[in-house]
Amino acid sequence: MAKSKTTLKINGMICEHCVKTVTKALEELDGVKKAKVKLKKGLAKVAYDSDKIGVDGLIAAVVKAGYEANA
Ligand SMILES: [Cu+2]
């Protein structure tokens, strides 16, 4: 268990539904403890276990959900 935190820049979110979609996409991942997504700032704060998943994996999940993400 290696507790890590990161903030991703998310592009493409336009409403609260998008926020829920991105939050769910992140929190469904094995190793993600918590995702806090802010619509206005276009940011996602993610608490995760870096033994299980990396930033690349987090970004891939957001992209798969239909949004752009950058570390
Ligand atoms: Cu939306």
Does this model's pTM top 0.75? My answer is yes
C-alpha–C-alpha distance, residues 29 and 41, integer Å: 23
Q: Ligand 1 is a single-atom ion; what residues have CB below 5 A from it?
A: 14-15, 17-18
Question: Chain-wide mean pLDDT for the chain?
Answer: 98
- Inform me whether the pLDDT recorded for 1 exceeds 90: no
C-alpha–C-alpha distance, residues 1 and 39, integer Å: 30
Side-chain-side CA neighbours of residue 28 (13 Å):
11
Percentage, residues of the chain above pLDDT 90: 99
Per-residue pLDDT tens for 30-59? 999 999 999 999 999 999 999 999 999 999
CB 46 within 8 A of CB 26: yes
Give the Å distance between the CA of 3 and the centre of ligand 1: 30
Q: Which amino acid belongs to residue 50?
A: S
Nearest to 61 by CA among 15, 37, 40: 37
